[in-house]
């Protein structure tokens, strides 16, 4: 399937999705959101897709934010609808049931930072810059940034970034937990592909249940979340992959997960 604003490349079990609006620094607009939603449908329905990589075209930006020309025309009603639309797409990404990797190759600001935070893991090039500068437009993040950022970096650090609009470089983003790893710019996609390949080789059911336990448990009490964990642990124990994994360990060989 061809897209107007995305480049989508299938490499075995890995689906590489590139936001392709380099002249607009890959800014998010309604078309990008709709097409991302279609890609998520493809990734969810295709059992051969095991991992998703999201990045931006060119060297300057992952996604520099939402399209300001669209934002400037919003009314209170259309602004709320636009926020709900973006939240829905990013929540679907977070709840995909398959790992996703943000390969952050430049500016990840506003909606771009929110997109990266909705991914399972974040790799940043040394040249990456992240932040939520909506305050300087008289706005606040609308695609989940006020909720995901505190969960990643803590309330105090999140409020610092949200209230000041301050941008952080890749090193600081790694130090505060906003990204998982910083790599040389020239190696970013290679590192992302290697990580995606590593994840794709893991047992799919265990991956899905780990994601379900972590994301689903975030809004529960520790006791309730632990109960969910135990239930998922019981379910995965019935899988052929669990039997293969434990058998391979005892036989001192590499497992062959199906």
Quickly state the pLDDT bin for 244 (edges 50, 70, 90): confident
Q: How many domains does the chain have?
A: 2
Q: Catalytic one among 35, 70, 94, 114?
A: 114
* Structural domain boundaries, residue 220: 204-250
In a domain, 55, yes or no: yes
Q: Catalytic one among 134, 191, 229, 251?
A: 134
pLDDT at residue number 51: 97
Let me know whether 125 and 187 are in one domain: yes
- pLDDT of residue 1 exceeding 80, the answer is no
Mean pLDDT, residues 184-194:
97
pLDDT at residue number 77: 95
Let me know whether 107 and 229 are in one domain: no
Quickly state the pLDDT bin for 257 (edges 50, 70, 90): confident
Let me know whether 95 and 184 are in one domain: yes
Quickly state the pLDDT bin for 248 (edges 50, 70, 90): confident
Tell me which DSSP letter residue 97 carries. Answer: S
pLDDT at residue number 101: 98
pTM above 0.85, yes or no: yes
pLDDT at residue number 153: 98
pLDDT in tens, 196-242: 999 999 999 999 999 999 998 988 999 999 999 999 999 999 999 88
User: What secondary structure does DSSP assign to the chain, as a single string?
Assistant: ---SSEEEEEETTEEEEEE--GGGTT-B-HHHHHHHHHHHHHHHH-TT--EEEEEESSSSEEE--B-HHHHTT--HHHHHHHHHHHHHHHHHHHTSSS-EEEEE-SEEETHHHHHHHHSSEEEEETT-EEE-GGGGGT----SSHHHHHHHHH-HHHHHHHHHH--EEEHHHHHHHTSSSEEE-GGGHHHHHHHHHHHHHTS-HHHHHHHHHHHHHHTTS-HHHHHHHHHHHHHHHTTSHHHHHHHHHHHTTS-----
Cα 248 to Cα 258: distance, rounded to the nearest angstrom:
13
Q: Which residue has the higher pLDDT, 244 or 87?
A: 87
Quickly state the pLDDT bin for 127 (edges 50, 70, 90): very high
In a domain, 208, yes or no: yes
In a domain, 173, yes or no: yes
Q: Which two tokens stand for residue 105?
A: 């190759």
pLDDT at residue number 109: 98
Let me know whether 169 and 239 are in one domain: no
pLDDT in tens, 75-94: 999 999 999 999 999 999 99
pLDDT at residue number 93: 98
State the CB neighbour count (10 A cutoff) for residue 72: 8
pLDDT in tens, 90-123: 999 999 999 999 999 999 999 999 999 999 999 9
Let me know whether 148 and 223 are in one domain: no
Which of 176, 200, 224 marks a domain boundary? 200
User: What secondary structure does DSSP assign to 120-157, as a single string?
Assistant: SEEEEETT-EEE-GGGGGT----SSHHHHHHHHH-HHH
4 is catalytic: no
34 Cβ neighbours under 8 A, 6+ residues apart: none
114 is catalytic: yes
Q: Supply the CATH number for residue 72's domain.
A: 3.90.226.10
- pLDDT of residue 65 exceeding 80, the answer is yes
Let me know whether 134 and 244 are in one domain: no
Average pLDDT over the chain, rounded to whole? 95
In a domain, 118, yes or no: yes
Quickly state the pLDDT bin for 148 (edges 50, 70, 90): very high
In a domain, 257, yes or no: no
pLDDT at residue number 66: 87
Let me know whether 151 and 29 are in one domain: yes
In a domain, 234, yes or no: yes
Mean pLDDT, residues 30-34:
96
């Amino acid at each position: 399937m061809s897209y107007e604003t995305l480049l989508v490349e299938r490499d075995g079990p890995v689906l590489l999705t590139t936001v392709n609006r380099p002249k607009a620094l890959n800014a998010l607009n309604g078309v990008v959101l709709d097409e991302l939603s279609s890609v998520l449908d493809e990734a969810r329905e295709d059992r051969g897709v095991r991992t998703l990589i999201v990045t931006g075209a060119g060297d300057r930006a992952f996604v520099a934010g939402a399209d300001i020309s669209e934002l400037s025309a919003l009314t209170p009603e259309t602004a709320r609808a636009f926020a709900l639309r973006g939240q829905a797409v990013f929540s679907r990404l977070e709840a995909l049931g398959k790992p996703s990797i943000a390969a952050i190759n430049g500016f990840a600001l506003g909606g771009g930072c929110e997109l990266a935070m909705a991914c399972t893991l974040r790799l940043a090039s040394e040249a990456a810059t992240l932040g939520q500068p909506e305050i300087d437009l008289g706005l606040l993040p609308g695609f989940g940034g006020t909720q995901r950022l505190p969960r990643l970096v803590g309330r105090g650090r999140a409020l610092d970034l949200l209230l000041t609009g301050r941008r952080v470089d890749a090193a600081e983003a790694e130090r505060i937990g906003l990204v998982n790893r910083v790599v040389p710019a020239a190696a970013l996609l290679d590192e992302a592909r290697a990580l995606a390949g590593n994840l794709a080789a893991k047992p799919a059911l265990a991956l899905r249940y780990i994601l379900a336990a972590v994301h689903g448990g975030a809004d529960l009490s520790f006791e309730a979340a632990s109960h969910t964990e135990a239930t998922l642990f019981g379910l995965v124990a019935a899988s052929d992959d669990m039997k293969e994994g434990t058998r391979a360990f005892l036989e001192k060989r590499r497992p062959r997960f199906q």
